[in-house]
Structure 1
Amino acid sequence: MQILKMGENIAVSAASVRVLIGWSAGPADPGLDACALLLSSAGKVRSDNDFVFYNQPDHPTEPVRHLGRRGTVDAVEVQLARLGQDIDCIAVCTSADGRPFKQIRGLHLRVIDTATGTDLARFDITAGPETALLAGELYRRQGTWKFRAVGQGWASGLAGLATDFGITIDETDSTASAQTVVAQSGRAPALRPGMAAPPRISPGENLLPLDMRKRLSTRKHQVVEILAKYGMAYATARVVLVLDSSGSMIHLYQKKVIHRAVERVGAVAAQLDDNAQMQAWVFAENPARLPDLAIADLPQWISLHVRSGELPRFRTFPLQPGQVDMSAVGVVNEEHKVIAEVRSFVAVTPTAVPTLVLFFSDGGIYRDVEIEQQLRAAADEPIFWQFIGLGTTSGYGVLERLDTMTGRRVDNVGFFAVDDLDSLTDADLYSRLLQEFPSWIQSARQASIVR
């Protein structure tokens, strides 16, 4: 059995599993109720029939059922091998009849192989004043199933949680218990405009400084809202960060513009990457790969690794463990070299998900021919390149023409430039970063570049 922490996930090969919500009995303990929500790729129920709980214990068409409470355990059973292809996720939730979860002792979740009775995973849940909880989720990735420990609470109760996933709630009844969340057969869910599924919880996210954790949570919601517009709320991708560290970028590093940008795009990786990580490179005359960025290490990583290029004679501090020698990177920008290195990395470390490259540069591009050759060749690879221009006066050469460049099976490149990155709201930044990625996914699938 694997012990999971919040945000961690495991592969699930069992054809059928039971997810148990357990707790320790206490005085006047009302007990907990488990339930399951069947979600599409948009992160929503298809209809109110997709809510399985004790008043609707068997789904009418899918092999999901509520097993009922036995002592201090309530459970749902999911036959993963028989689920329809339009179901991407089973959200396993629980409520405490209006009682805050911080009063529930010994709260935990277990995943059990139905056929063998083997415990696959356990998640000990620490909760606060919330009265409803998304405990964990079974989700489909490239034809296989995984389980993620979530532990995300709703102060608005089960009614608020269910509504956020698209269930219709009788607004005249505000008791927020499972009894009020009644499935209404054949009726489409009443969604609030712009509402999206809750974001993923990242491993170690709870260890971040409080202010950074709050910013990350808000930003992940904005990323999910953007993705949900394209039916991709539960999309996954490997995220690669590329930072221009050439000499003309020094003032942006000195003003911490790049540091703030890295924190902001961290929310994209936290939502898209199963392990909430980014691979990262810096480049000038030469590329250099940085240590992988785990969201849990975001403040330390930014402090150590977000640095501009330098000349050896100007170094004033010794290198810290894991830091790149930026004097070897140089100060003149040659984008084609880092593009080639990222392509090579993706080729030798294939994954079942596509790769999204977020490439920051302040322009001054002069290797147009070499860059175009690299990106044309990359059009047949499972990589989407999103270039972000920092400033609009330096000139971006071929990058400004790539959207109209012919001779590629798919348009694998996006580009926008902005004078002042800090002036963009998070919502605007994520809209620009992600607006072309969904259409590339669709085109790349049609061309059999990605699955």
Structure 2
Amino acid sequence: MFGRFKKTEPVQPATARALVCPPLTGVPAGLISLAKTAGTSLEKAGVPQGLRAAVYLVVDRSWSMRGYFADGSVQGLADQALGLAVNLDDDGTVPLVLFDSQPYPIVDISLDRYQGVVADQHQLHGGAPTMGGTQYAIAMKAVIEHYRNSGAADPALVVFQTDGAPQDADTTRLQLAQASKLPIFWSFVGFGPDEVDFLKQLDRLPGRVVDNASYFHAGSRPRNLPDSVLYDGITGEFGRWLTAARAKGVLPR
């Protein structure tokens, strides 16, 4: 299940790459348990063994997220995303997409360079004083552009984290509907004490070619949530989407 990963240079803006699926080995000790737990959740979700998929992580950098950056919750989610990538991705890297009122340069989190990457990127962009608003659509467009530029033939699983509704709700709805034609599944993860009603709306959004999104609420203390529960929430609808996407011609049969 685990694969050989490419050694990467220090974190820099992510470059487009084709998914070539080498076997994965050499997983860091700190990620082995996460990778195994993620694999179990993927199996439970009906994801075919050996499926290749690009894993993306989108993180809300709005002002209300400052506590989750400070307490390590966002870095923890990045580690968990790498656990998924060990099972699905070609080289064990996860493009990290930070957003608030603007998009930020995408960087790769890799198996050999992941500890502290979220904090480093957050500080690089000015830390808490520069945290802005919440606009989902700009982050979604950044993911779609990166995916298309990669030339990937395999689908993508996007872990999209936020703690509140966006200021560009109409644009986000339109973006998700248009993206339903693409081989990209959006797994929305909510942080915070209350569920995000807007994410529930996206999960039920009409007018899509195929249901290309799910929503899981991780609560106000996501660091205390068992990894298995988080992974079940992220992957729960991914297997069904793969089947439906093939039936609709979004993915090859």
TM-score bucket (shorter structure): 0.7 to 0.9
Q: Percent same amino acid at aligned positions?
A: 23
Q: How does 1:12-411 map to 2 (within 5 A)?
A: 148=23, 200-202=24-26, 205=27, 208=28, 213=29, 215-229=30-44, 230-305=46-121, 307=122, 323-324=124-125, 330-393=131-194, 396-411=196-211
Q: Work out which of the residue numbers 4, 7, 15 in structure 1 matches 2:4.
A: 7
Q: 2:66, 2:128 within 8 Å by CA — same for their partners in 1?
A: no
Secondary structure, aligned partner of 2:239: helix
Q: Which has the higher contact order (CA 8 A, sep 6+)?
A: 2
| Cα separation, partners in 2 of 1:254 and 1:147, compared to 1, 3 Å | closer
Q: 1:236, 1:273 within 8 Å by CA — same for their partners in 2?
A: yes
- Tell me how far apart the structure 1 counterparts of residues 37 and 128 of structure 2 sit (CA, whole Å): 37
Alpha-carbon offset, residue 366 of structure 1: 3.4
| Cα separation, partners in 2 of 1:283 and 1:231, compared to 1, 3 Å | closer
| Cα separation, partners in 2 of 1:272 and 1:343, compared to 1, 3 Å | same
Can you list the C-alpha shifts for 1:342-375, whole angstroms capped at 9, x where unaligned? Answer: 2222223220110111111011433221110110
Q: 1:372, 1:398 within 8 Å by CA — same for their partners in 2?
A: no
- Tell me how far apart the structure 2 counterparts of residues 386 and 253 of structure 1 sit (CA, whole Å): 20
The answer to which structure has the higher strand fraction is 1
Unaligned runs of 5+ in 1: 1-5, 10-141, 149-199, 308-318
- Tell me how far apart the structure 2 counterparts of residues 328 and 382 of structure 1 sit (CA, whole Å): 37
1:440 partnered with 2:241: yes
Larger Cα-atom Rg: 1
Alpha-carbon offset, residue 430 of structure 1: 0.8
Amino acid at match of 2:91: N
Q: 2:92, 2:110 within 8 Å by CA — same for their partners in 1?
A: yes
Q: 2:162, 2:190 within 8 Å by CA — same for their partners in 1?
A: yes
RMSD across aligned C-alpha pairs, in angstroms? 2.4
- Tell me how far apart the structure 2 counterparts of residues 240 and 260 of structure 1 sit (CA, whole Å): 15
- Tell me how far apart the structure 1 counterparts of residues 197 and 115 of structure 2 sit (CA, whole Å): 34
- Tell me how far apart the structure 1 counterparts of residues 153 and 243 of structure 2 sit (CA, whole Å): 16
Q: 1:368, 1:397 within 8 Å by CA — same for their partners in 2?
A: no
Q: 2:35, 2:83 within 8 Å by CA — same for their partners in 1?
A: yes
Can you list the C-alpha shifts for 1:62-87, whole angstroms capped at 9, x where unaligned? Answer: xxxxxxxxxxxxxxxxxxxxxxxxxx
Amino acid at match of 2:34: R
Secondary structure, aligned partner of 2:167: coil
TM-score, normalising length: structure 1: 0.49
Amino acid at match of 1:360: Q
Equivalence for 2:226: 425
Alpha-carbon offset, residue 327 of structure 1: 8.6
How many correspondences in the alignment? 236
Q: 2:56, 2:156 within 8 Å by CA — same for their partners in 1?
A: yes
The answer to which structure has the higher helix fraction is 2
| Cα separation, partners in 2 of 1:377 and 1:258, compared to 1, 3 Å | same
Secondary structure, aligned partner of 2:95: strand
Secondary structure, aligned partner of 2:113: helix
More divergent stretch after superposition (233-242 vs 362-371): 362-371
- Tell me how far apart the structure 1 counterparts of residues 68 and 198 of structure 2 sit (CA, whole Å): 23
